[in-house]
Structure formats: structure tokens, C-alpha cells
Structure 1
């Protein structure tokens, strides 16, 4: 229950669409030659990645093919089409996105729903693997599949070919999909959408983009004729607007031959419609709009200053893009520092110079205001922008920003041979769709190394002055209805700009400490004993102070080391009166400095270090978790030792977190989803403060001194801690740190176990309807709770039940009944403090359909209980599990979870070696048995969110 959580709004535009904007590509053949970076001039075009095979067919279709063995036996294919909602006419609004849906509902070689069925049978997950998205200027289809099966690889290419030009678009399938798209549209409705509809014309300067949101309009989706969609498809799905990107564990020459064979016969219309490149025009004036909504939970102000787009095509352009990054880095560090003051002027703030949309870049600054303190927050943000305009940055700030970029460059280069295929796909996708650079790993590394030393502080400051101007400036305000009267109009905002500009602003004082992190050097211990866990190539060490350390060296990354530790106890050991202080203790310590460095000094000290260590206190355990590279190991272990022996909660940080937390929750009761969640938790746990969202009263109960005392109690005895370390190290390399830091941790050999708080759901299910919200939509959660038999086979069968039911729910509720956009089942089991389970089916739909869809969902559950799952669905689950395990076994995070979790639960850490054998033991009958055991009618809780009664 962390109080401060960043609000998920980087800047308004990216937050709105979560889609990239595309522009027609330029030809890349001229920059194709392999160039030596050290011979390039400022005006040299950026060299294209020479490690990818590129080509263009006679019909205009382009391809990018690259061999990459991370992950092994996998290939990722993307079909990029320069077809988006901007191309729609008034009668076609939403059809680019609708067409994306239809490419999953009947292709030449995969009629009706056979595409999803076939790929699921091969272990490909619909939604997380097999997917697509539509933006203003593009539609992109993605398919990651195994490459070790020739038949599957062949059919995967056939899918891409069918997507390009062979959708069937049957009348019946079109009409069925209308309901799905309408439910997707309904699910997106709420405060953000209602306000967006008001401010979008201002943000997009009343251009065509402001009336071409990809989701379209309800009227068109309900009523368009079949021929209108078919005409849109025939007009725009053509080879001169398409490219195929293939990256993975493949033979490039063979793949290129197949692409040429399959895609060479794609046809364009005899008289193709011109693909117009639309722009958002600059108006050479300032704009203002303030919008409110009763369900908005915070006030946000954004300043967006638009500029002509600066394409990154030459070495000089690339250098200029780095200057912008340095500016963003330094200014955001200052805003972060300001937000951590005792009485912060805003909850959070951010500034960035970057791309905007349709031929424009933007200087964008936003802040989230405290309730009824919009003016204070606005002026504080503008004051920081003016401070930079008047005094610039310090050399020490500049130095840290350069070091941070250098470190990122080094890290990326070190991991170049471990880079996942998806990252390469995105590189070439952005090149094709947006003309972004596609540098090779070597060229990128060398360019950064050669350009960073040439940057000057003066140039960075000039960048800010170029972009922070008072022309083409939009001010957009979003706020709750209840703050409407306190919001400014345009005249007030202009007056605030002028007032801040006239203020006597002082220069920034960059406070940096020369002190070492720790006040004293730890007293080195030693390794007392060791035992091999040979079957998973791990080793368990016991240190001289009783601390256990489990080591698993890997080669999955070249320089990634994950660290996690736990000890039993947590907040369960504290009374309700201490609960809020206990629950926030680790977060408060983590937000403060440690050892001899305060918060600001620590942040600066960590610049250029690829290290992060954070303490935590959960309900049943406490510990630390984080990561490091080899270079940062000493710092990582210093932090661990510091969080055990020299923790602190700073007064300013405490006051800042309390102030911002109270501000963030002040309007949460306006959010229908919050009200729904709160009502569910209160009804399940009798209003226990440990199970309900934090309130103003709870925040005010947090006591700084008590929180620090509880934290120190939790970390006073390391003897029952188990550390797990996974990654790119050897035992010889890590052992000195274990002995010097972990073996020196304090111990008292106390014996503790977490308490059973008795917080369990009622034995008898019930129905609870919550009414909150303006939109005519319903959210449904059907959940079973109860006692459970926790063991390996039971857990596997429960997971299988989740998998097969999810397949059936999508088939029934989405594909057959067109009643939902997304649905699925989710199983959760726990071993401690008591064997328990929950099993949930959830979906959103219209208020007129939720009852019938609940009946349909329960009918699918009853079918499994009566007959067991279909054998074909169970096989889909098994192959998906096998295919995912192949990938997971090569991930450090997976092994960290497996080993640390096993030690926490007192289980065998080598179980993963038996997993596939157990997976094969699952049968139709065993899943049926589990369904009947746990999905009992009297344990069903129905939670339904409906809109306010009219």
C-alpha cells in the first residue's frame, strides 16, 4: 500500500491514444552502405543498420529481415501498414480500427475464427502475443511464434500474407464484430474521454486529427454498410503502403525467398488513391481551455508549445536530439527535487522536449496540483522554467546528465548480443512508419561516445530558450467539477506568466555531498557453510551471522544481477493502531536518504550507476529487492547494509509524502472504479483497515518516529533473512561482497513468524451491486473464495482451469454473443497463513446485457463442471505453458521468482525440473474435479458496478 503512486499521464497526447503517429517513409537505399562513424561529418546522413536485410518488391512492398537468437527458437513478425484513421471519410469513421479487428475474423487460409484457434494450438497467446493496434496514420499487426517448427513458421508467414490483402470480410462476421468494437468503445468512456472531446480541437489546432480518433463513432460502427468497409480495405490495404518486419532465430536467405514468393503478387488498385500526408498546422497564436468533469480525481495543468518537427536524419540532428535529452534530464531532476520539499507546491511535475504529432514537435510541461492550489502549482512550475531561462544550469548538473547518458549507452552496448528481437522490430518499425533513425548497435554506441564530449552547457541552455517561448502555446487544464470555481481563465493564466517573469528569482544551488554513503566500514564476516543445489545450478551459502544466500549464476544477460531478500514478520506483527505507520515505514525510508546522504544527495550520488535497491515491509515479510551491474555491486551492497544499519526518515520527505498523499486521495470517491473496489473490499473484510483503500484518517495516523522505530525492528536481526542473487556473476566475484556486507549485518537470533490475522472472505457467497458513474456501462466480477488444498498438482490443475475457461469465455461472450471486448478467468492461490484460493471471471458490458452475460459465463463454468474442458482446449493450455517455459527458463526474473518464492513458502526450489512431467499428468477429469471442488455455487460472490440511478 504505497501512498505515492505516479499518476499515469506523461503528457496528454501520448496518454490519450497510446499509439504512435506515422508519416510516409523516405527511401533508405542511399544510406544503406556501411559507413565508419569516425569518418562522418556533421551533415552526413545517419547510417542505416547494416545487420538487417532490406528489400523492396516491384509492387512497392518492403521488408526487413534480421537473424537474432534472443530468444532462441522464436521469431517476431510485424506487418506495418500506413493506413490509419486519418484516411477515413465521414462515413468511414472508425473503420481503420474495425478493419484491424476483421483481420482476426476470417482470412483466406484461416476462415472465421480459425486463425486464433490454430495459433493457440501452437502455444501463441491471443492478446499478449497475437495482437494489433491502430493509430492515426498506421495499423500494425504482430505475431511472435516459435521458429523451430517448419510448418508453424510457414503458416505464420501465410498469416502475414493474408493480413496484407486476403481478409474475407463476410457479412455475418462484420455484423458480429460491431458489438465487440462498441464494447471496446464503451469501456473507454469516462472522465478522461469526456474531457478529451472538449480539449482535443485545441490541442490539435482544429486539424483533421481532432475528428479522427481511431475508435470512431458509435453511429458509424452501428450502421456502416458492408461495402463501405470492403471499399476502404481495397483502397488502402495495398503493397506500396505495407512492410513486413521479421526478426528472430531464422535463416535470413530462406526467409527472404519466402517473402518474395508470398508477397510478390500483392496488387494495388488500377488508379490508387493518393496517400495524403496530413499535418497539424501552426496557428501562430496562444490557446487556452479549462475542462472539468465530476469523475475527475485530480487537477492537471499542461503547457504545450508547438514547433515545426525536427527530423533526425544527419549526425548534426542526432547530436541536437542528445542536447534535448540532456535538457529534459536536468530540468526534471529539479522538478523532482521540488516535489520532495516539506510543503511541495504540486503532487508531481514533468517537462520534455520531444515529438508531438503530424509534423510538429513540442515543449510540454505538466503538473498535478494539490486540491484548490492550482495557482501555487502553476507558478511553481513556471518559476522553475524561468529559473533556467535566466540562470541556466550548473556545470555539476550538466556533468551528471552526461554521465547518466554515457552509462545508458554503455549498458545497451554491453547487452547488444542479448538484445531481444522485439527491440529490433521496433527499431525498423519506427524507421518505416516515422522516418526515425535505425542505427546499428555499433554505430549508436560510437556516435554517443564521440558526440557526448562535444556537447556544451551553453548549447543545452540555448535549446531551452529556443523551445520555451510564448508563441504557439497551449494551456490546457483538467480538473474535478467541484474545483471549477477556483480555476483560472485565460487572463489569469497570462497574468501568472507575467508575475513569475517579474519575480526576483534566484539561481539554483546544486548541493552535492562529498561524504561516503556509510559512516563506518562493516566488520567483515565469512561463509560458514555451503551446499549445492545441483539440479538448478545454484548454491546455498550460510554466512557466519546466520544469513542465508542462494546464488544462481546465469549467462542470460551480460551484466545484470538481481538481488532479493526476505524475512518472516511484516506488518502482521503490529496492532491496528500501528498499522499505517508499519505499512508505510519502508516506503518512507526508501524515499529518504540513507547513511550519511540525504535524499537529494543520494539521488545525485547514484547518477551513472545502474543500481537500485529498495527495502519493503509487506503483511507477512520484510526485505530488500533490486538490481545492479558488476560495476555497481559495491554500491548495491553498501545500500543494503545502509538500509539495515543506517536508515532514516527525513522530516521534509515525511511531510512531503503526507501532503501529497492527502492531496491525491481528496477526490478519489469521485472515481466509479475506486468506489467499486472499496465497496468490494469492505463487504469481504468487514471494513478492516488492512484490506480497504487508505483514507485521510489513515494517512493522518502515520507517525514518523513510530514508522522509523518499526522499520528498525524489522531489520534489526538479519539471522532469519534469505538473500537470493541471480545473474551474470561468479561465486568468486560475489563472495567478497557477501562476506564484507551481508555477513556483517546485525543479528540477535530471534525467532519470528508472521501472524495469521484471520482476514478471510465469508464462507457464504452473496451479490453486491454498486451504483456509481455517468456512463451506461456495467463492470462485473464473479469470484469464488474458499479453503484450498495447496500442492503442486492442485495448483497446476487450477491454472489449467483458468486457461480453458478463459478460452471459452472469449469464444462465448466476445465471439458468439458480441457482448464484451475483453474477458477471462484468473485463479489465485496462497499457502500462508492458510491454504486459500480465489477464482474470478470479469468483464465489462452494457447495462442492458450484464445479466444475460453473467448467465452465459456461469453456463460455461457449469459445462466444465459437468463435462470437463474440451481436450483441444486443455492441449492449448499445455502447449502454451511449454512454450512459455522455454522462454522463462532463460530469464533472470523467472529464476529469482522461482527460488525466492520457494524459500518463502518452504517449498522445493528444484520443482521446476518436474513441472513438465506434472503438466502432462493434467487430464480432462482432473480439471473437472478441481472445477467441482472449488467453483461451488454457495461460494460465488457477484460484484456488479452500474451507473448512478437516473
Structure 2
């Protein structure tokens, strides 16, 4: 329930208090209403309904108390209290709380959860339908958590085991690089000794009385907010909040959350970190500034020019990656308020080798060039147009608005709907100039940067003087050859002159408003209107058979071909030029191949669907493998393999390749000889045989575009793909263990042990197995395992059951159970899991519970129905999963009788099932 470590490292600090005034604030220009009444929580209600988000709501309880509010004898208490919320309250003790949430059809961890940061704690409920009784129950639950947590001594003791397991998962040994990074980033600040998870000692010593004291001190109406967003009625919600959050007295001497900032001056300006598990190199330049968080719309808009300049910088660096011959993997930037009044801007480079001089040198060279020469007018125009198109296509969701409301309550961040934000950008964007954008970046980088290095274990870290020397020698020179592409615009011609004159040979209207076209080249195309993202369209191409249709010797060539081809560009644009052109046009096009299929995914503004499909046509007829790009990819692969030699994780990886994947070349690690052996000629031949042309592809198109327009573009760009002689032929099924076995391997370097339990039954012997029932079984087992393994026994922080085997290339149906636990309790955890499954297989399961899971899944699916991405996925992958393309588009799941689920589970526990046990120990 903690945010992950990377988020925790840079989470903003202590909360800014809102001024306390009675009454509410709302104007025609503010689509939300904010209430602040004496002795009640601040209440923010934000009504929202659109084609992307309707019949849903997000409910949040936000408390201005995190680890910074803990005394020295309370370390980890904010987090421990957050855990106790779900253990029970005065009105819903112990299991009654879990059952009440399940009656609400809320899946803890998916629709409900909580987190703790340095400065606040937040609880949330996602309601995927907003019947009045569900909304009221949700608000009632928030009030229970706010005022009536019980802290029963037995519950505290049980939850202590769970918190310790979470500590074990999130707290690696002190010598690990992540711990070194944490200690350096928070040096000289209160944060350094206030990691939200606490310490092992503080968790073990926590008492019910101590947790109650922390709760009573900070969980009070003047220190919390109730946020409700989504397809709700404001007056109804306000009445429910008043009913369940009546005025509560607040002590006159109640403490006010204090504000703390991090201390960049106490950090090492040139730190270097490593541990035995680090393989890749990473370096960044960090610019810390004292700056308060924006509280007005204008301040937020002003920050966009800085984003523009940073994106341009990364675009320029991206064009230079291939000249590093595999040494540099990528460049990136991020910007964050690390505490209320300290902002960090970070330029990052990831390396596959040890050449920090090269990576930092390129970063500094292009940074200096941009600050000296400025951005170009074309770069400004392209970015501005792309950003506005992207923002115009977005719509608010309940969850997104809840996040904005939370930041407003805590930090004063302006509450802007997407429509308001777009209007502000449309007004501001035309006023931006190349000079103003460059000046914005110069201001953000007006301080001396800190340089941090995380290096492979085998390397001696560079001295401070060495790093300073690298930066000093990275002087830029004029780009006379225009290798950065900043001069005249590179004109791309994507017109088609196909040799094959294709046609539509059949058109059918299917259920759920799907149109199906059969083309003369053998392809099938489906279309459905979907308007969740106005003005956007998505498409998905799928060809049955991937690496499994190839002779094993050709799989290696295929893996390397796909990687090199997708980075090589098209026609007169090389890889970086194509990527930047696609960004300018707001078009996405990704081609790939995996074990099961060959595929392409695309997304574009609706008015550029024809252009995007032309690109798809060219990608399937004129694909290329650039020798320099292939060499860059080859060098990266060899570097990665070299780094894994004698790595502590290598035995675990080898075990999975051998026992789970059976050395399948599509899934195992390649050898250096294999990486070096594939020539560009072999790659081009592979493309011609297995990717080019119509093959056996199907295509799904969905979005905010009408059928006649789609039909026109399909005729021009898809029907004209040349037919390909590519019979599917014999295909290999997914390799799997064929005999039961147990494998335990050490070397993870973590404090916990990872357990994977796999139970497999052959499809051939269970042809009539209900696949939908397997999905219901996942929900059932998640509840059963969480109740027993986590809540009752404290053996794991999280435990989950998953199923697989749905594609035509699976020979088995599989049940997976995975969890992490104390290395000393591995056998106990496995025995408890298997005993729990065995008992579940004999229960008389209530139909009411199954119907509840069905309703939950259908509500979730119906929220996705308007999504173009979800729609094209359902349509395009129908053949792979052996179902009709329109199945599920209505949002429904087939009914399943409760008695089926225990019977189904018993099949996986039968002696004839193949049971595989994989355990990864520290």
C-alpha cells in the first residue's frame, strides 16, 4: 500500500494548509464545488460525465499526515495506521469490513487501496457504477476510516506480520544502490530518517495504544478532505457527506502539520553508487531550485514552455544515439517538486556500457547548443501543434479529476478541467516564441547542476575531477552538417503507387455495430465507431503465427530483424527522423512479433487515418534494415550479455529458460554468437518472407471516424497490399514443463523469497472446459488467498492467482500463484497456499458471490467499451483466442454456475496435473 520506491524518492513533502473559511466556493467557471465548514472535513465535489467517463465515480479520503508527522518513537506509524484501516472499524470489525467492501463490489487493490507518502495519506474507492446505494456505502466507508478504526490488539498483531512482509519487499539491504540513492537525496533533511515504511525495529515495537494515539492526533476533520469526482449529483453527494461526516470537536491545541523541505546543499554534488546487481550505467544532471509549487493557472501554463524546450533537447539527443554504437540506450528528462519549495529538473542518460564520458558529454554538448543557439522555429511549430492536438483529444475521467483535487487540497494546485486547460493552452501557445522558450529553459538551468552516476559493479567510479573534466570538454560546435535535422524540413513522401489493385469482395454488418470487410488479398478488416477520445482513431494488425511458425534456427534472425527494422526508418527518413516526424504528426506506428503472432499497432488523429494507413502499407512493403542501426542494436545486445556473465541473477534466469521455457529460442537469452551471426542480408530476407505483404493479417480499426471514410482508406492502403504466399503450416506450441518438479535458486539479493507455483492441465483432456469460468476463478482465488495467506497468517504482503492458456497455441490451461515471503517461511507459505486451495476446492460456493464478480467484471468492461484501443484489441485478436470478433463488445460475460468453480479448481489440484514450484531466495 506504499507508493513504490521511485515515486517515494521524489514525492513532494509536507502539505500546504488551506485557509479555513466557512461556506462553499463555486462559480460558473469552476466545474467543482469546494466546501469548508467548521468541524467537518474539506469537501470537494467535481461532477463529470463524457463519452470517455460516465457511470463512474472516485471517492477519496485525504489526511495531512505522513511519515514527516511521526515522532522519533513513531517511525512507520502513518503506514501502519493505513494498514489498520482495512482491518476493521467499530461498526465493521475484522472480516465484516472486507465483506462490506465486497458487497460494494470493490476489489481491494484494484478498485480500493491506500498509500502513504512523506506528507499525507490517501484512501480511495473507484466505483465502476454509481447506483445510489453504492455511492452511499462508499462515503460511509470513508467516514469509518476517518473516525472509527478499532485497533484491536489481535488485529494489530496479525497486521504486524503483513507490514513486516511489505517492509521485506520494499526495503533491500543497505548496500543496495536504491538505498544509497535514498540516503543521498534526502541527506540533511527530516525525510532521511522518515522513510514511510518505517524500520523493522519500529514495526515490531508498535503497540495498539501508540497507533491509536497517532490516529487520534492527525485523523480529525480540520486535517482531512473528502473528494468525490465523476458522474455524480453534487447535492446528493453533499447530503451524504453531511450525513456520514457530522461535525466533530477539535482540540484547541491540535497540532498543525509542519512543512519540511529537502536540502540539496547537503547532497553530494558528484555521487556515484553501485551494488553487485547493477548491470547498466545511468547518469543524470540535476538542477535544484528553490521555487514554490504553482497555485495559479497562469503559473502552470508558463511551465509548458520549459517542457517544450526539454522535449526538443531529447529529440536532438535521440538523433545521436546510433552514433554511440550501442553505448547509449536512451536519454530522458523529468521535472518534479521534491518538496513544497524545492524543484528538481533532471536530464538522464542510460548506458549499456561504462562510457559515462560519452553519455554525459553528449548530454552536456546538446544542452549547451540549445541554450546558445536556441530552438528552431520549426521545432516550436511542430511541438505546439502536436501538444494542442493531443490535449484536444483528451477527456476528463473521475480518477484524473480526483488527483487534481487532491493536489489542490494539499498544495494549492489549480483545479482545471481538461476543457479549461485546453482553452488556456490555445490562448497561450500562439504567444510563445523561440526566444521565450529558450529563455524558459535557461532559467530552469540557471544553477550549477549536480551529476549523479549509478555504475556497473565491476567499474571503478570516476572521481569528481574526472566528471568535471568531461563536462568542461563537452563544448558544442555549430551543426554545419545539420545532423540534428534542424535546418530545412525533411520532406517525407508517403503517397502510394501500389502494383496490386485490391478490392473489397464482401461487406457485412455484424452485431454491436461492427462492419466487416473481406479483401481480395485475403485480409479481413473490422471497423467500429468509438468516441472515448474525440478526434482520434486506433488500429491493430494481427497475423496468426509468430516465432512459433519458424524453424528454430530462423527464430534468432527474426528476433534481431524486428528489433533492427523498427528502428531503421522508412523511405528517405532514418530511424530518428521517422520517430520525430511521427511525433510531429501525432501518429503512432509500432510493428512487432512475438511467439504467437506478428502485429502492428497504430494511433492517429482521425483526419490523418489515411496517412497512418499509408505508413502501415509502406512498412509492410518497403521495410528496411539499416546496417548502422543493426550494428548499434547488435552492440547493445552483446554488451547486455557481457554484463550478465557471472551476475548474481544469472542462475535464476538460466533456471527459467531451462525448466519453464524449455530453451525455446523465442524466449531464452540469445548467445553472443547468435547476436553476432545475423547479417543484414538475412534480416532483409526474413522481412520479405514473414512480414511483408498481406500475409494472413487481419486489421481492426476503431475511433472517432465514420465508416465511409474508413472504407475509403482501407481500399486505398490495405486492400492494395500484395497477396503473400504464407501458409501457416505447422506451428510449435508454447513450450511448458511436462513433468512436475521443484527448483529453488539463491541470489536475488532481496530480503524476501519469491514463490511461483504453476499448476497445468492439458487442453486435449479438457476440451469442454469453460474459459469464462477460469476468469471468475481468478477473482475467487484472489479473495480466498488474500484472506488466508495475507490477512489470517501474515505470510505475505500480497498473493495472487492468475490463469493462462487461452490462445490456440497453448497446449495447457495453467493456474499460477505468486507471492513473496520471509525466506525462513518458504515451506510454511507453500503448504498454506496448497491447503487453502484444497479447502476451496471442496466448498459450497454461494451463487451470490459469483454473480457479484460477474457484475464487477461487466462494469469494468463497460467502462472500456468506448475506448478505441480496447475495441481494436478485442477485434484483432479474436482469431488468436478462438472466438468470434464481436464477443464481449456488449460488455457482458457469460453466466457461470457457482458449483463449476470448485470443480474447475480441483482439476488443477489433481495428481495428474503438472505442478512446478519455482523459489528465488536471497
Q: Normalization by structure 2: what TM-score?
A: 0.93
Question: In the aligned structure 2, how far is the partner of 1:99 from the partner of 1:577?
Answer: 57
Partner-residue secondary structure (3-state), 2:526: strand
**Contact (CA 8 Å) 2:858, 2:893: kept in 1 or not?**
no
The 1-side partners of 2:661 and 2:265 are apart by 56
* C-alpha spacing 1:690/1:300, structure 2 compared with 1 (3 Å): same
Aligned 8 A contact 1:83 1:138 in 2: yes
Counterpart of 1:58 (choices 38, 44, 55) is 38
Deviation per residue, 1:749-774 (Å, 9 max, x gap): x3511533255334320111111134
State how far apart, in whole Å, the 2-side matches of 1:763 and 1:103 are: 45
**Is the deviation greater in 709-718 or in 519-528?**
519-528
CA distance 1:751–1:691, change in 2 (3 Å):
closer
Change over 3 Å in CA distance of 1:685–1:149 after alignment to 2: closer
Matches for 1:563-642 after TM superposition, within 5 Å: 563-642=539-618
Q: 1:739: Cα distance to partner?
A: 1.0
CA–CA distance in structure 2, aligned partners of residues 251 and 674 of structure 1: 56
Alignment match, 2:94: 112
Deviations 1:264-321 (A, max 9, x none): 3233234101211112245399623222211122222222121012432346523430
Residue 623 of structure 2 is aligned to residue 647 of structure 1: yes
Of 745, 748, 752, the residue aligned with 2:727 is 752
Deviation by residue 1:169-198 (Cα, 9 ceiling, x = unmatched)? 111111111111111111124479832333
CA distance in 1, matches of 2:330, 2:639: 11
Choose 308-317 or 235-244, whichever is displaced more: 308-317
8 Å CA contact 2:20–2:36 kept in 1: the answer is: no
Q: Deviations over 1:877-919 (max 9, x none)?
A: 3333333333343433333233222233443234438995732
Q: Does 1:432 align with 2:412?
A: no
Q: Which moved more, 1:15-24 or 1:554-563?
A: 15-24
Q: Is the 8 A contact 1:407 1:608 kept in 2?
A: no
Cα 1:193/1:752, change in 2 over 3 Å: farther
SS in 2 for 1:288: coil
Q: Distance between the aligned counterparts of 2:174 and 2:668, measured in 1?
A: 25
> How is 1:436-475 mapped onto 2 (pairs within 5 angstroms)?
436-469=413-446, 471=448, 473-475=449-451
Larger deviation, residues 243-252 vs 685-694: 685-694
Against the structure 1 CA distance between its residues 516 and 481, is the aligned structure 2 distance closer, same or farther, given a 3 Å change threshold? closer
The equivalent residue for 2:15 is 23
Partners of 1:947 and 1:149 in 2: how far apart?
47
From 112, 116, 120, the equivalent of 1:138 is 120
Residue 45 of structure 1 corresponds to: none
Q: Compared with structure 1, are the counterparts of its residues 32 and 527 closer, same or farther at alpha carbon in structure 2 (3 Å cutoff)?
A: farther
CA distance in 2, matches of 1:667, 1:16: 29
CA distance in 2, matches of 1:310, 1:674: 46
Contact 2:78 2:196 in 1 (8 A): yes
Moved more, 130-139 or 673-682: 673-682
Instruction: After superposing the two structures, state which structure 1 stretch, 815-824 or 598-607, moved more.
Output: 598-607
Shift in Å, 1:21: 4.4
In structure 2, the CA distance between the partners of 1:18 and 1:808, relative to structure 1 (3 Å rule), is: farther
| Preserved contact between residue 737 and residue 914 of structure 2 (Cα < 8 Å) | no
2-structure distance, mates of 1:542, 1:808: 47
Q: What is aligned with 2:770?
A: 794
d(CA) in 1 for partners of 2:870, 2:346:
38
Match of 2:463 in 1: 489
Q: CA deviation at 1:513?
A: 4.9
Q: 1:20 to 1:713 in 2, by over 3 A?
A: farther
Counterpart-to-counterpart distance in 2, 1:252 and 1:829: 46
Deviation of the 1:447 alpha carbon: 1.5
Residue 919 of structure 2 aligns to a residue in which SS? strand
Contact 1:146 1:152 in 2 (8 A): no
Structure 1 residue 130 displacement after superposition: 0.7
Kindly indicate whether residue 792 of structure 2 is the aligned counterpart of residue 810 of structure 1.
no
Corresponding residue of 2:537? 561
Q: List aligned pairs for 1:866-945, cutoff 5 A.
A: 866-867=842-843, 869=845, 873-912=849-888, 918-919=894-895, 921-924=896-899, 926-945=900-919
Q: CA deviation at 1:533?
A: 4.2
1:125 pairs, out of 94, 101, 107, with: 107
User: How far, CA to CA, are the matches of 1:700 and 1:554 in structure 2?
Assistant: 46
The 2-side partners of 1:500 and 1:917 are apart by 60
Q: Would you say the 8 A contact 2:296–2:414 is kept in 1?
A: no
Measured after TM superposition, the shift of residue 575 of structure 1 is 2.7
Deviations 1:318-341 (A, max 9, x none): 343012111111111112222233
* SS of the residue 1:437 aligns to: coil
Work out whether residues 611 and 627 of structure 1, in 8 Å CA contact, stay in contact via their aligned partners in 2.
Answer: yes
Q: Deviations over 1:486-538 (max 9, x none)?
A: x112222222222335x757576542554333364346856433343432221
User: What is the CA distance between 1:821 and its match in structure 2?
Assistant: 0.4
> Which stretch shifts more, 716-725 or 835-844?
716-725
Mean Cα displacement is larger for which, 870-879 or 778-787? 870-879
Q: Secondary structure at the match of 2:273?
A: strand
TM-score of the superposed pair, with normalisation by structure 1: 0.90
Root-mean-square deviation (CA, aligned residues, Å) is 2.9
Cα 1:198–1:762, aligned 2, differ >3 Å: closer, same or farther?
A: closer
Deviation at 1:675, TM superposition (A): 4.2
Are the aligned partners of 1:780 and 1:943 in contact in 2 as well (CA < 8 Å)? yes
CA contact (8 A) 1:518 1:596 kept: no
- 1:347 equivalent in alignment to 2:290: no
- How far residue 672 of structure 1 moved from its aligned partner, in angstroms, is 5.7
Cα deviation digits, residues 373-431 of structure 1 (max 9, x gap):
2222222222222222333333322332222222223323xxx4xx3211111121111
Kindly state the Cα deviation for residue 27 of structure 1 after the two structures are TM-superposed: 4.4
- 2:452 & 2:267 partners in 1: Cα distance? 14
* Counterpart contact for 2:845–2:898, Cα < 8 Å: no
Q: Which residue of 2 aligns with 1:308?
A: 290
Indicate conservation of the 8 Å contact 1:19/1:135, yes or no: yes
Note closer, same or farther for the CA distance 1:236–1:310 as it changes in structure 2 (3 Å cut): closer
State the 1:142 CA deviation. Answer: 0.6
8 A contact 2:292–2:340 mirrored in 1: no
**Partner residue in 1 for 2:823:** 847
Output the CA distance in 1 between the equivalents of 2:234 and 2:267. Answer: 52
Task: Describe how 1:691-710 pairs up with structure 2 within 5 A.
Answer: 691-710=667-686
Inter-CA distance 526–188: structure 2 relative to 1 (3 Å threshold): same
**Residue 43 of structure 1: aligned partner:** none
Q: CA deviation at 1:128?
A: 1.0
Deviations 1:207-250 (A, max 9, x none): 11122111110000011222211111111111122111111222
Residue 350 of structure 1: how far off its partner (Å): 1.8
1:158 is the counterpart of 2:140 = yes
1:7 is aligned to none
Query: In the TM superposition, what whole-angstrom CA distance separates every residue of 1:44-101 from its partner, at most 9, and x where no partner exists?
Result: xxxxx61112111112521111222354332210111111111111111111111111
Distance in 2, matches of 1:912 and 1:285, equals 54
2:275 corresponds to 1:293:
yes
1:218 corresponds to 2:194? no
In the TM superposition, 1:679-718 aligns within 5 A as 679-718=655-694
Kindly report which structure 2 residues correspond to 1:229-248, keeping only aligned pairs within 5 A, or say none. Answer: 229-248=211-230
Tell me if the contact between 1:724 and 1:900 (Cα under 8 Å) persists in the aligned partners.
yes
**Contact 1:383–1:500, Cα closer than 8 Å, also in 2:** yes
By how many angstroms is 1:107 displaced? 1.6
Match of 1:106, SS state, is coil
The verdict on how the C-alpha distance between 1:353 and 1:76 changes in structure 2, with shifts beyond 3 A counting, is: closer
The separation in 1 between residues aligned to 2:297 and 2:871, in whole angstroms, is 42
Q: Secondary structure at the match of 2:738?
A: coil
